[in-house]
Amino acid sequence: MNSRIRFSIITVCKDSQKTIENAILSVLIQSYTDYEYIIVDGVSRDKTLDIVNKYSDRITKIISEPDNGLYDAMNKGIKNAAGDYVFFLNSDDRFLHENVLQHVAKKAQNTENELLYGDQVFVNSQTNTTSIRKHNKLNKIYLLKNTPCQPATFYRRDVFAKYGDFDTEFKIVSDHEWFLRAFLKHKISYLYLGFPVTVFNSGGLSTSPSAEEKLNNERNLMFEKYFSASERQRLEFLSKYLRCFTTMPVAKDILDLLFRFEL
């Protein structure tokens, strides 16, 4: 790509009055200004829209209507996007600093990769600790339990036309399912950015047993689409007992022949 890169930043929100302003401001302060900003609201009942409307003159499009969950709202954002790369900034996340888009644009300018992904900074307000979640080693083992950090991933806009939108049948893991589809079925091209993109504030809330059960059910249905039972068993064994060897050059090649854990 030789032309100037344009980003479509999409924030999906509902009843997000506590965090939405920080997300918005982190976009508006970006030194790189070739972007459009789309906010998709699920008809908030709190003051979210009041906060959003404070910045309406600097937001490209505000959509507020009922939806069929998070991923339906994200798909709406995609359909309204016109940039070269689409980025989903969650309402409780924010860009790490004002030069994030500038740094990503430089990378995008010199690549034809369909996916650009970086890291995310996690701030735990309860323990007052900060950590960085890195995603620099993608393989099938990793994709069993993780994905590139969705709030640190830039999607070339045409990938959704080529590989499909988020599957709204999944209410919790549709972003994970999309990555499995893109990496394992369509062999999407990707570039690891090598730096943090966003900040997430973790409050350390526990998951209810019913939510945990629903998550596990969705994950099992998702994995059935992309892994046979025997392949999943092999990869889980490798992850549990031999993962440290998958980064050693010679051992890695031997294990890959036996387990086929590379993408």
pLDDT at 135 over 80: no
Assess contact for 167 and 136: CB atoms under 8 A. no
pLDDT of residue 78: 98
**pLDDT for 158-168, tens place per residue?**
999 999 999 99
For residue 122, give the nearest of 134, 110, 105, 111 by alpha carbon.
134
Mean pLDDT across 131-148: 86
User: So what's the pLDDT on residue 207?
Assistant: 55
Helices (H) and strands (E) in the chain, counts: 10, 9
The secondary element (H helix, E strand) that includes residue 83 is: none
Nearest to 197 by CA among 138, 160, 150, 142: 150
Cβ neighbours of 7 (radius 10 Å): 25
The answer, yes or no, to whether residue 1 has pLDDT greater than 70, is no
Q: Residue 3: which of 69, 75, 85 has the closest Cα? A: 85
Mean pLDDT across 53-63? 97
Mean pLDDT across the stretch 118-136?
87
Residue 258: predicted pLDDT: 85
Among 11-20, 101-110, 245-254, which stretch is predicted with the lowest mean pLDDT? Answer: 245-254
Q: Is 123 helix (H, G, I), strand (E, B) or coil?
A: strand
Condensed to tens digits (0 to 9), the pLDDT of residues 217-250 reads: 999 999 999 999 999 999 999 888 888 888 788 8
Whether the pLDDT of residue 205 is over 50: the answer is no
Q: b vs e for 88-113, b when ≥16 Cβ sit within 10 Å of the residue's Cβ?
A: bbbbbbbbbeeebbebbbebbeeeeb
pLDDT cut 90: percent of the chain above it: 75
| Predicted local distance difference test score (pLDDT) of residue 209 | 75
Would you say 224 and 218 are in contact if contact means Cβ atoms under 8 Å apart? Answer: no
Average pLDDT over residues 133-152: 87
Can you tell me the distance from the alpha carbon of 87 to that of 77, in angstroms, rounded to the nearest whole number?
10
Where is average pLDDT lowest: 4-8, 180-184, 209-213?
209-213
User: Once rounded to an integer, what is the mean pLDDT over residues 122-127?
Assistant: 85
Write out the two tokens for 208. Answer: 């209810």
Lowest mean pLDDT among 87-101, 136-150, 152-166, 202-216: 202-216
Per-residue confidence (pLDDT) for residue 95, from 0 to 100: 98
Share the mean pLDDT of the chain. 92
Q: Which domains does the chain have, with CATH numbers?
A: 7-116+142-193 (3.90.550.10)
pLDDT digits (tens, 9 = 90+) for 19-32: 999 999 999 999 99
What pLDDT shows up at residue 89?
97
Burial (CB count within 10 angstroms: exposed 0-12, middle 13-18, buried 19+), residue 147: buried
Q: Which two tokens stand for residue 232?
A: 């999943």
B/e letters for 40-75, b = 16+ CB within 10 Å, e = fewer, are bbbebeeebbebbeebeeebbbebbeebebbbbbbb
Mean pLDDT value of segment 191-202: 92
Write the secondary structure of 154-205 as one string of H (helix), E (strand) and C (coil): EEECHHHHHHCCCCCCCCCCHHHHHHHHHHHHCCCCEEEEEEEEEEEEECCC
The answer on pLDDT for 202 being more than 80 is no
What single-letter amino acid sits at 258? L
pLDDT band at 203 (very low <50, low <70, confident <90, very high): low
Question: What is residue 247's predicted lDDT score, i.e. its pLDDT?
Answer: 79
Q: Are 36 and 8 in contact (CB under 8 A)?
A: yes
Tell me: pLDDT of 128 over 90. Answer: no
The full length of the chain comes to 263
